[in-house]
Amino acid sequence: MTSMTSDRTVRHERFEFIRRMPKAELHVHLEGSIRAPTLLELAARRNVELPARDVAGIERWLTFRDFDHFLEIYLTISRCLRDPEDFQLATAAFLEERARENILYTEAHLTISTHVANGANGDEIAEALAETVAAGEKDLGVRLRWIADIVRNVDFGRADQTLEWALDHLDKYVVGLGLSGKESHPAQPFREHFAVAETEGLHRTVHAGEQSGAAAIWDALEHCGAERIGHGIRAVEDPKLLDVLRERKIPLELSPTSNVRLGLVPSLEEHPLRRLHDAGIPWSLNSDDPALFHTSLTQEFEAVGDLMSMDLRELAGLSMTALEHAFLEDSERTSLQRVFRTWFANQGVDGFPDGR
Ligand code: ADE
Ligand code: ZN
């Protein structure tokens, strides 16, 4: 076999394995996961004028000049969700896609305060979403949990609303409080929200070190008690921070395609992922806003698997790391870990670097 043929065989085997293996995703936004056909249906229901009327046109629309342009499009998409049935349609399509990709566990961000500002009823949405999540678990075998996202750069009162919504619906699959939006707005003002979240049993993850430097990550740790960092790629600029992340086992939720499509990293090849990995930082792989970035968790695994020439054992380890850092109760984590481990063992893959 020539080396080119053997490269092709290895790659084929890797892709096949990725497609079929059990996966978990910790950083994906519901609003950024609505594929073009569903978005067109929702826009028609809500009478929202989108700049395109067909799938190809919508996909062309989703090209971002910069982060502000991305947020503008994100808000337009959010206007297509208002009634409980809209959220159910988007979530059901999302869960079906999860099932097709064998993503058995997902934590999805939801920016509830944007929807309430657009006229939605937060309690009705929570109720409707819980129904759809329960059906997904029963009919498709995929689990979904919610992270209610505070947006840094909007009216401060919306942060109170977000926390309140999350606390009111702890029994409806809400597991965490998140912080997203423009990092030019510091995390410090949300200190109290995250302190209450911690006391009341909500987990905490903060987007930081994506658009801004390492200081934003220090901020997230100090002021929000972040258990995980969304993106965190600029940690590479600060050796002291790398030591702290490694020692405290604070994982980064990496989304390489998102970083490239938003122009924060010039190319996948130049992404600091390998440097973060070599520094011993735990990390999971994520799609962030798969519909907006024309990606999927499977495609992220394929791209990174190629980039880092990962073998099956390393791929399995990456899947297990996500589970290790999921906002799950221990009993549920153990039972999912058993399912994953059994699947890998049946493929002859074990002894993987489990939960770095
Ligand atoms: N909201 C949705 N995606 C985001 C991202 N990548 N960064 C910050 N806020 C977001
Ligand atoms: Zn995100």
pLDDT-based confidence at 351, cuts 50/70/90? Answer: confident
Active-site entry in 31, 107, 183, 210: 210
Half-sphere exposure of 5 (CA within 13 A, CB side): 2
Pocket test for ligand 1, best of 74, 262, 295 (most atoms within 8 A of CB): 74
Half-sphere exposure of 83 (CA within 13 A, CB side): 8
Helix (H, G, I), strand (E, B) or coil at 118: coil
101 classed as catalytic:
no
Residues of the chain with pLDDT > 70, as a percent, come to: 99
- Complete domains list, the chain, with CATH: 24-346 (3.20.20.140)
| 194-227 tens-digit pLDDT | 999 999 999 999 999 999 999 999 999 999 999 9
pLDDT of res. 355:
47
Task: Return the ligand 1 atom nearest residue 210 CA.
Answer: 7
Q: What are phi and psi of 288, to 5 degrees?
A: 65, -80
- Supply 123's token pair: 């309690």
| 253-300 tens-digit pLDDT | 999 999 999 999 999 999 999 999 999 999 999 999 999 999 999 999
- Supply 127's token pair: 């109720």
pLDDT of res. 252:
98
Distance CA 279, CA 334 (A): 28
| 96-130 tens-digit pLDDT | 999 999 999 999 999 999 999 999 999 999 999 99
The CA 124 to ligand 1 mean position distance, Å, reads: 25
| Residue 57 CB contacts under 8 Å (≥ 6 apart), including other chains | 51
Angle at 68 between CA 266 and CA 55, to 5 degrees: 80
| Residue 328 CB contacts under 8 Å (≥ 6 apart), including other chains | 105, 145, 175, 336
25 lines ligand 1 (CB under 6 A): no
Residue type, 180: S
The CA 263 to ligand 2 mean position distance, Å, reads: 15
Distance CA 128, CA 135 (A): 11
169 lines ligand 1 (CB under 6 A): no
86 lines ligand 1 (CB under 6 A): no
